[in-house]
């Protein structure tokens, strides 16, 4: 059974299941899950929620990097090489860490977009 859409064009099942996502993230997910049944959407959301990162978490890890070990946020986002580089260079002399703190929303959105792709790929593999 296909879901109906509200006046904003976003599937209401998505808005109810992903109430804590950013609008950009929700639009990206809606565009990639057009034609999914409610059950497929629930399955997608269940997998995606375990993979996605919150903007505040990335910002907090980045700010902790200014105090303790630089690069913690890069490890959290799965960028091991950059995390090691940040540790060895002190967050590229703190400049890289400060820039990442300013751009934490963009970093999080890019990470979450990759996780949307991974989740869709995983669902395609499970259906075959």
Can you say how many angstroms the Cα of residue 40 is from the centroid of all Cα atoms in its chain?
19
Is residue 18 within 8 Å of residue 29, measured between CB atoms? yes
pLDDT in tens, 27-65: 999 999 998 999 999 999 999 999 999 999 999 999 999
Can you say how many angstroms the Cα of residue 61 is from the centroid of all Cα atoms in its chain?
15
The residue-averaged pLDDT of 5-32 equals 85
> pTM higher than 0.85 for the full model?
yes
Which residues have C-beta within 8 Å of that of residue 78, sequence separation ≥ 6? 111
SS (H, E, C) 71-86: CHHHHHCCCHHHHHHH
């Amino acid at each position: 059974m296909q879901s109906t859409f509200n006046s904003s064009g976003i599937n209401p099942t998505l808005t109810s299941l992903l109430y804590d996502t950013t609008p950009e993230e929700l639009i990206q997910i809606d565009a990639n899950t057009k034609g999914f049944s409610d059950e497929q959407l629930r399955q997608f959301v269940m997998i995606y929620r375990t993979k996605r990162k919150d903007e505040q978490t990335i910002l907090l890890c980045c700010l902790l990097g200014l105090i303790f070990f630089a690069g913690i946020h890069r490890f959290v986002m799965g960028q091991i090489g950059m995390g090691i580089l940040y540790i060895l260079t002190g967050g590229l002399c703190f400049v890289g860490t400060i820039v990442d703190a300013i751009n934490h929303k963009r970093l999080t959105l890019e990470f979450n977009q990759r996780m949307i792709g991974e989740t869709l790929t995983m669902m395609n593999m499970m259906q075959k």
